[in-house]
Each structure stands twice: as C-alpha cells, then as structure tokens.
C-alpha cells in the first residue's frame, strides 16, 4: 500500500474516533431498578465488517456487582462516533445481567471505538470501551486475499473452512493483527516481503513469494488491510494528530 493510502486510512480513523456520538431521534425513557459496580464485555468486540453494514454478532455487555455476579435491571447505554448506530441504543439488563445491542458500522474504513456505560449506586459512570473495524472496498479485498493465501499459516486458529498450519511451522509467522511487529515495517517492506517472500527482508524462507500470484493493486489491498487491523493501531510516519 502506498503512503497516501496509509495516511487516508488513518485520517478516516481520526475522524471516526473524534466525531460526536449519534443520538437517537426518539429517546425512550428507561428506569433502572438496580445498579452494579462493573461493566464487562461478554461478546461482540473486535469484530470486522464492511462499511455501513450490521456486525454479524451483537455486542453484549454485562453489569456485575462487587462479587462479580450479574445484576438484572441495570441501565446500559451505548455510544459511538458519528456514523455508528445501535439497535437499541439503551437497554435494561436481563436476568443474567446482560444488555445486548446490534451495531451498524459507519461509512468510512476505520477502527471505531464504542462505549457502553452504566451507573453505580453512587451515580458515578462506569464505562466499557470496545473496538470494531469497518473495512472499505480495498481492505475488504485485502481480507479476502489474506483468507485465501495467508490465513492457513498466519492464523493459529482453525475454522470449518480452513485447517491452520501454524503449529507445524518451525518459525511461527506473525498474526495479521500483530501491530507491535508489523507497524515497524514500512509499506515498501511489507510489499517486498509479500512479493518476494521472507528472504527479501532476511526473514524465514518458509514465507513464500506471491509476486507472480498477486498484482500490484491486490498487494496494496493486502497491505491496507494489515494497516487497518493492526493492534496497536498503525500510525503512518509524518502524521500529526490533534490533541483533544
């Protein structure tokens, strides 16, 4: 991926995380009957989906008391940057202490930070932050290419469609979300290792070359995908970020 494309993806991230949370047009008044002291994610965080689409799994947050037991009847509200929507945007926890919402991603490729909030008995806010990733056309293409050519070795988890080869490799490849390692590499270096294999950067020869398999736009798409899903997030060199 070119530097301009990396910069664009990060600008999208900055805009997405800096925007105001979308407010529902009609606010339904919900009255909590109980309060907890902690808010934890049960499921639904760190998902990926196409821009503007609903995530495959709902986001589930659980309110617990001081002993870690679920609290029924606590109010949980969901917030996100501009473009994100929740259905519902607020809910009372069920008998197990859980509140569930369906998340629709914004229209820009970005890492979106979402927040669930509740209040304790002292009326102090308790917050939970989760991250969801919206893939634009280029990143979606990169994801598909990664699943086709790369995931068997780079993803240690097997699936119904793919048996991982990760455990069989003497030199373990980095996962695609390993920002600690991959963020240190330039776009040119990532492109080189994809095109020419691990030996291009004095890495493991077990990484094969794909220069005759992928064209330039496909390689750029794969790099764009890597940059977007990196954890910690990738910051392009020379980018300046405004302080809040």
Kindly state whether residue 243 falls inside one of the protein's structural domains: no
If DSSP codes are grouped into helix, strand and coil, which group holds residue 130? strand
| Same domain as 165, residue 61 | no
| Same domain as 114, residue 159 | no
Kindly state whether residue 234 falls inside one of the protein's structural domains: no
Kindly state whether residue 200 falls inside one of the protein's structural domains: yes
Write phi, then psi, for 207 (nearest 5 degrees): -80, 110
Kindly state whether residue 92 falls inside one of the protein's structural domains: yes
Asked if residue 17 has pLDDT above 60, the reply is: no
Token pair in block for residue 42: 């049960």
- Among 103, 135, 167, the domain boundary falls at 135
| Same domain as 111, residue 141 | no
Domain that holds residue 98: 7-135
| Same domain as 151, residue 55 | no
DSSP label at residue 54: B
| Same domain as 92, residue 190 | no
| Same domain as 158, residue 115 | no
Q: Give me the CATH number covering residue 157.
A: 1.10.760.10
| Same domain as 99, residue 160 | no
pLDDT-derived band of residue 239, with 50, 70 and 90 as boundaries?
low
pLDDT of residue 6: 43
Give Rg (Cα) of the chain.
21
For 138-162, the pLDDT digits (tens) are 999 999 999 999 999 999 999 888 8
Averaged pLDDT, 199-215:
95
Domain count, the chain: 2
| Same domain as 131, residue 23 | yes
DSSP label at residue 150: I
Averaged pLDDT, 175-186:
95
| Same domain as 143, residue 130 | no
**Residue 173 CB: number of other CB atoms within 10 A?**
19
| Same domain as 110, residue 49 | yes
Q: Give me the CATH number covering residue 77.
A: 2.60.40.10
Write phi, then psi, for 241 (nearest 5 degrees): -110, 130
Kindly state whether residue 115 falls inside one of the protein's structural domains: yes
For 80-131, the pLDDT digits (tens) are 999 999 999 999 999 999 999 999 999 999 999 999 999 999 999 999 999 9
Kindly state whether residue 2 falls inside one of the protein's structural domains: no
- Among 94, 116, 135, the domain boundary falls at 135
Q: Which residue has the tokens 């037991």?
A: 69
| Same domain as 202, residue 121 | no
Averaged pLDDT, 160-185:
93
Kindly state whether residue 18 falls inside one of the protein's structural domains: yes
- Among 69, 104, 135, the domain boundary falls at 135
In whole angstroms, give the CA distance from residue 67 to residue 60. 20
On whether the CB atoms of residues 147 and 222 are closer than 8 A, the answer is no
pLDDT of residue 173: 93
pTM of the model: 0.81
* Cα angle: 224, vertex 229, 234; to 5 degrees: 75
pLDDT of residue 28: 58
| Same domain as 147, residue 84 | no
């Amino acid at each position: 991926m070119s530097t301009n494309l990396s910069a664009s993806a990060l600008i999208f991230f900055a805009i997405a995380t800096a925007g105001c949370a979308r407010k529902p047009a009609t606010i339904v008044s919900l009255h909590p009957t109980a309060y907890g002291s902690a808010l934890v994610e049960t499921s639904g965080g760190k998902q990926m989906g196409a821009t503007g689409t609903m995530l495959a799994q709902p986001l589930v947050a659980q309110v617990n008391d001081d002993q870690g037991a679920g609290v029924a009847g606590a109010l949980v509200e969901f917030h996100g940057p501009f473009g994100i929507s929740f259905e519902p945007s607020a809910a009372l926890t069920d008998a197990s202490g859980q509140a569930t919402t369906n998340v629709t991603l914004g229209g820009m490729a970005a890492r979106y930070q979402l927040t669930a909030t509740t209040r304790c008995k002292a009326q102090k806010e308790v917050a939970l932050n989760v991250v969801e990733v919206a893939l634009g056309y280029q990143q979606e293409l990169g994801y598909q290419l990664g699943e086709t050519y790369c995931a068997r070795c780079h993803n240690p988890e097997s699936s119904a469609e793919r048996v991982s080869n990760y455990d069989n490799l003497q030199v373990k490849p980095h996962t695609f979300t390993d920002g600690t390692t991959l963020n240190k590499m330039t776009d040119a270096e990532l492109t080189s290792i994809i095109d020419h294999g691990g030996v291009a950067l004095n890495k493991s020869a077990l990484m094969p070359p794909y220069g005759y398999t992928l064209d330039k736009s496909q390689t750029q798409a794969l790099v764009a995908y890597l940059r977007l899903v990196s954890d910690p997030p990738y910051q392009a060199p020379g980018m300046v970020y405004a302080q809040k």
